[in-house]
Structure 1
Amino acid sequence: MSSPTRYAPCASPPPHRGRTAMNVSAHVDTFARDHLPPPEQWPELRFDLPELRYPERLNCAAELLDQQTDPERVAFRTAATTWTYGQLRARVDRLAHVLTADLGVVPGNRVLLRGPTSPWLATCWLAVLKAGAVAVTVLAQQRPQELTTMCEIARVRHALCDIRAVDDLAKAEIPGLRITPYGGDAPDDLLKRPAPGTPYPAVDTAADDVALIAFTSGTTGRPKGCVHFHRDVLATADTFSRHVLRPRPDDVFAGSPPLGFTFGLGGLVVFPLRAGASALLLEEAGPRQLLPAVAAHRVSVLFTAPTAYRAMLDQLDAHDVSSLRRCVSAGENLPAATWRAWRERTGVRIINGIGATELLHIFISAADEHIRPGTTGVPVPGWHARVVDEEGRERPDGEPGLLAVRGPVGCRYLADPRQGEYVRGGWNITGDTYVREEDGYFRYVARADDMIISAGYNIAGPEVEEALLRHPDVIEAAVVGRPDEARGHAVVAFAVLREGAARDTEALRAFVKGELAPYKCPREIVFLDALPRTATGKLQRFRLRTGETPSVPSTDRR
């Protein structure tokens, strides 16, 4: 392996609101940069720490791979094998050659990545970035209609897909999409295509060239593409990971979030590689799989949701978890009771945190003796946070309001008018209601919109409603979240059917599962004669959340 990439030093970029003159792009396909929000709609960006003073030219994949001078160190692990940093770099370089010389990918092209969590999916992500293209990683669970929408928004024409996840992608109506499978036996498989065995020189991307587009569903059903730069990827590692998590080269990372979630991308790829550590990449990583994996592979850093920590408490006696030294929780609020129970049983203090796809990873957190159970923590070094009212005025300590954040990464939606809703007055407004305590700690109160957070997944109620309404028998639908001990919140759907239609819960659930990822499917379906509305016709969601419905002829839980 060659020596780490060296860059000429550059002056620290000043804190700025909006966008200063951007660096000269390496992108041939400029679609992503051309469809960034206008400068006046950007949040203020802050680069307060010395480690955030990145050079003007930066390829984050090369930075993550080339920093390791020992090619024999383990980078990725699975249940059956290990990959060294030398092997990983050789495989990344080989795929980058295939992408550019064989598949015709040029810098700036968007490349969809789809498959279960594996070293090959991570390798594809690194190869796409090293080739100067833009990674669009999606969940293997997502259905054709969801995939079609995301590809339409991002103008995706190339896809690298695990052979086991090709069918739904092939069914999606995406004009001109070239799907290249990997992991199969066909001669045109990505891993079997001929390529030179020489190093691939990373494309000389600008630090503010687009590296990835991460999709999130907002309070409307249409997903939003969150655009992030090469410097943004490193900034997540150089703030939360470096200052709060503080990983070591001998750490073994593992966790449940897939790489299609930025929580998983950071925790299972970016953070371990930035630290020269290794990651155990599990295709199945539910509570039943995590504890045996921790014991078998001596996992020391674990990323998962509060739901999983609660579920694993009853299984701890059967597994050796003495290797754990860091446990990170995000995706939903971590109850103090769960924190205390995990601490009592394992001796490990869970590092709670809040992040957002718009901001790429965690920006409020605390570790070790700085943790206050029941709170999220304090702003991560490099980040600033406050609680404001609807007009952006700061709220007094102890009073709830909207969480406002700014730092080295900011929200930039791809060609989406909702940019102005998330960024106000130079701050990112996350959609969460928080209280800032007198000691400076931030305490979560609730979501400020109709997002349902269930078992660590963000589920937009309107998106599920739209799926229900695509059923020919459904004439009205409403979806809310109700408190659920196991999941935090459960998705509950209310449906009004056409006259004479059978109230068949199983058939309706099966239909929704065919339209959306399974985790979005309602746990409970309630059939009503009418939805509760005001005199002006506005839906009264609060009545649905509390169970105060006009009539409930039929209900079913799963």
Structure 2
Amino acid sequence: MTHTDCKTSGTDTAGWSGATPDFAPSAHLDSFPRENLPPREQWPELLFDLEDYRYPTRLNCAVEFLDRNVEKGRGDHPALITPEETLTYRQLQDRVDRICNVLTRDLGMVPGNRVMLRSANNAWMTATYLAVLKAGGVVVATMPLLRAKELGQMLDKAQITHALCDVKLREEMELAAAKAPCLKHLVYWGNGDLESRCAAQPEGFTACDTAADDVCLIGFTSGTTGLPKGTMHFHRDMLAICDGYSRHILRPTPEDRFIGSAPLAFTFGLGGLVLFPFRVGATGILLEKAGPDELLPAIEKYRATICFTAPTAYRVMAQKVDQFDISSLRKCVSAGETLPKAIFETWEKATGLRLMDGIGGTEMLHIFIAAPQESVRPGYTGIPVPGYQAKIMDDQGNEVPRGTPGWLAIRGPIGCRYLADPRQANYVRHGWNIPGDVYIQEEDGFFRYQGRGDDMIVAAGYNIAGPEVEGALLTHPAVRECGVVGVPDGKGGMLVKAYVALKGDYLPGDHLVKELQEHVKAEIAPYKYPRVIEFLEALPRTESGKLQRFALRKLAGQ
């Protein structure tokens, strides 16, 4: 399908007036990405003190992730393993080059055009992703479960001109495309269209000569209210997360095999399943369905060595791990939401492996606070990744004393740059990125998570962190998962309320409410216990596995 008209162009998005940046000359013929960066004075301070983050002025990250492995003699090494196919680096390179030719020859894509990608995790999704980067386009990857309304918001805000989509996701894509005047070309794979177009193309493609600071990715946040925010990342950013967190904290080798549950549209999944392995010439294992019941047999079958998934998945897998041979696993990364100490201990007891916690975000692309495996401390997120700085500040931007809760502030080689969005000023303050997380920094420098700013509950004059209460509840044998929010007490104040999903052998009732309340009182300060407990079959979660506390607050009538 083809649209020929587009009602918006240039810098019209949201009435935005972008920066006049002092960048290297861009390779983008479509200037929309640079024109819609936030004004330079609204950027956080960027740090390039570490040699690892100093890149050449001209850089195409797809060349570094893919072509460089072939050049170094790893062309026959498996790049991707999926249930449907295994591709070596050379085979993947050929597919990527042919898709580049389809994009530029058949579909008229020029550097700087935005390309929407829609698929579950598979080899074609990875190949299209790398092809857009190599051809100088800007990737806008989308979660498979998004609906037409959400897709339409992204199509409009990023003025997306091209889309490549797995035919299994055709229905919502078609509905969104019908209302997207900027979208000129939509091609599917899985029905033979993109495949036949690729077969008709010649081998080889010369990568676009992009600048290191050309935008290559617009990652939309899974915001809970209002329009989604598009985070803009450069070619050098894609390498920086590998040369920072992966190199210094994860420390993979070319023989590692990465597996995980997060969609590639979620930057946690992109890094953990594609960028980190490809940076060192290792292997990514991609599963279209990767819940706990699928991950365990896949770890056994494909001999995975490094796993990326959410805390809830580790908790579920711990109960079944003795049914599978997961002896190949050597490192397990937990992110996406806070890692309760109870889940850490449950996983370690079941496997002997210590979970590596971390906090990152779409705005910062990936993890910026973590700890190497040998320095992991249960209940703590860790310390800043080398090349990053972090502190805890108050509302005025002043650093608070160690041991005092406040706003986490972070800066490093990557920083928040929203696409034409006045909310930039909310995220970047005083030159620092402020993700909205409340933390405590201990005297020895370790950071301990307290909760999101809107997860803090003020009850009877006390500040109570919802995640801390959740962590206490999870140590009770009856609790499968839980979420804690503040609810009005009818007197102008707030109460702590817990939503609890039970394990199969337990039944809800007043007796269990009392038992859970007493258990929390014994685990943490008694004033923090949940005054109200409601039992649910399951808790609301995002596609990336995060607990949707806003949905619980809505359920509570807030």
**Normalization by structure 2: what TM-score?**
0.79
Q: Which residue of 2 aligns with 1:477?
A: none
SS at match of 2:347: helix
Contact 2:262–2:544 (8 Å) recurs in 1: no
Residue 359 of structure 2, aligned match among 339, 354, 357: 354
The answer on 1:75 being equivalent to 2:82 is no
SS at match of 1:430: coil
SS at match of 2:407: strand
Residue 206 of structure 1, aligned match among 206, 211, 234: 211
* Per-residue Cα deviation, 1:342-396 (whole angstroms, up to 9, x for no partner): 1122121111000010000000000222111100000011111100001110011
Q: Which residue of 2 aligns with 1:504?
A: none
Distance of 2:371 and 2:234 partners within structure 1: 26
Q: Which residue of 1 aligns with 2:189?
A: 182
Distance of 2:550 and 2:51 partners within structure 1: 51
The answer on 1:131 being equivalent to 2:130 is no
How far off its partner does 1:179 sit? 1.3
The answer on 1:109 being equivalent to 2:113 is yes
Distance of 2:546 and 2:334 partners within structure 1: 21
Gaps of 5+ in 2: 1-18, 457-465, 471-482, 486-495, 504-539
Distance of 2:27 and 2:432 partners within structure 1: 29
SS at match of 2:451: strand
The answer on 1:96 being equivalent to 2:103 is no
Contact 2:369–2:383 (8 Å) recurs in 1: yes
Distance of 2:413 and 2:549 partners within structure 1: 38
CA spacing shift, 1:138–1:204, aligned 2, 3 Å: same
Contact 2:310–2:545 (8 Å) recurs in 1: no
Distance of 1:521 and 1:297 partners within structure 2: 29
CA spacing shift, 1:430–1:517, aligned 2, 3 Å: closer
How far off its partner does 1:253 sit? 0.4
CA spacing shift, 1:440–1:151, aligned 2, 3 Å: same
Contact 1:402–1:431 (8 Å) recurs in 2: yes
How far off its partner does 1:49 sit? 1.4
The answer on 1:59 being equivalent to 2:66 is no
Distance of 1:523 and 1:397 partners within structure 2: 28
* Per-residue Cα deviation, 1:433-485 (whole angstroms, up to 9, x for no partner): 0000111000000001379999xxxx9x9xxxxxxxxxxxxxxxxxx995546
Distance of 1:254 and 1:19 partners within structure 2: 41
Amino acid at match of 2:190: G
CA spacing shift, 1:397–1:20, aligned 2, 3 Å: farther
SS at match of 1:395: coil
Contact 1:141–1:518 (8 Å) recurs in 2: no
Distance of 2:76 and 2:497 partners within structure 1: 48
How far off its partner does 1:24 sit? 0.3
Distance of 1:190 and 1:412 partners within structure 2: 35
Percent identity for Structure 1 against Structure 2? 52
Contact 2:156–2:180 (8 Å) recurs in 1: yes
Distance of 2:549 and 2:245 partners within structure 1: 34
Residue 325 of structure 1, aligned match among 319, 323, 330: 330
CA spacing shift, 1:355–1:483, aligned 2, 3 Å: farther
* Per-residue Cα deviation, 1:284-324 (whole angstroms, up to 9, x for no partner): 00000000000011000000000100011110110011100
Contact 2:115–2:132 (8 Å) recurs in 1: yes
CA spacing shift, 1:486–1:190, aligned 2, 3 Å: farther
Contact 2:380–2:448 (8 Å) recurs in 1: yes
Distance of 2:47 and 2:549 partners within structure 1: 42
CA spacing shift, 1:132–1:450, aligned 2, 3 Å: farther
Residue 166 of structure 2, aligned match among 143, 162, 176: 162
CA spacing shift, 1:401–1:486, aligned 2, 3 Å: farther
Distance of 2:135 and 2:394 partners within structure 1: 44
Q: Which residue of 2 aligns with 1:31?
A: 32
**Normalization by structure 1: what TM-score?**
0.79
Larger displacement relative to structure 2 (280-289 or 67-76): 67-76
Q: Which residue of 1 aligns with 2:415?
A: 410
Distance of 2:221 and 2:41 partners within structure 1: 23
Amino acid at match of 1:336: K
Larger displacement relative to structure 2 (241-250 or 212-221): 212-221
Contact 2:263–2:544 (8 Å) recurs in 1: no
Distance of 1:347 and 1:89 partners within structure 2: 38
Distance of 2:25 and 2:279 partners within structure 1: 26
Q: Which residue of 2 aligns with 1:427?
A: 432
Contact 2:81–2:284 (8 Å) recurs in 1: yes
CA spacing shift, 1:422–1:486, aligned 2, 3 Å: farther
How far off its partner does 1:195 sit? 4.0
How far off its partner does 1:337 sit? 1.6
Residue 254 of structure 1, aligned match among 242, 253, 259: 259
CA spacing shift, 1:256–1:126, aligned 2, 3 Å: same
How far off its partner does 1:198 sit? 2.6
* Per-residue Cα deviation, 1:184-219 (whole angstroms, up to 9, x for no partner): 13xx43554454333111000000000100000345
CA spacing shift, 1:191–1:136, aligned 2, 3 Å: farther
Contact 2:95–2:198 (8 Å) recurs in 1: no
Distance of 1:267 and 1:275 partners within structure 2: 12
RMSD over aligned CA atoms reads 2.9
Contact 1:111–1:156 (8 Å) recurs in 2: yes
SS at match of 2:318: helix
Residue 227 of structure 1, aligned match among 217, 220, 232: 232
Matched residues, number: 465
Amino acid at match of 2:379: G
SS at match of 2:211: coil
Q: Which residue of 2 aligns with 1:146?
A: 150
Distance of 1:191 and 1:233 partners within structure 2: 30
Distance of 1:346 and 1:379 partners within structure 2: 27
SS at match of 2:368: strand
Contact 2:408–2:439 (8 Å) recurs in 1: yes
Distance of 2:149 and 2:164 partners within structure 1: 18
Contact 2:96–2:131 (8 Å) recurs in 1: yes
SS at match of 1:88: helix
Q: How does 1:359-508 map to 2 (within 5 A)?
A: 359-449=364-454, 484=500
Gaps of 5+ in 1: 1-17, 462-479, 488-511, 527-540, 551-558
Contact 1:219–1:450 (8 Å) recurs in 2: no
Distance of 1:245 and 1:522 partners within structure 2: 28
Distance of 2:321 and 2:328 partners within structure 1: 13
How far off its partner does 1:221 sit? 2.3
Contact 1:110–1:156 (8 Å) recurs in 2: yes
SS at match of 1:223: coil
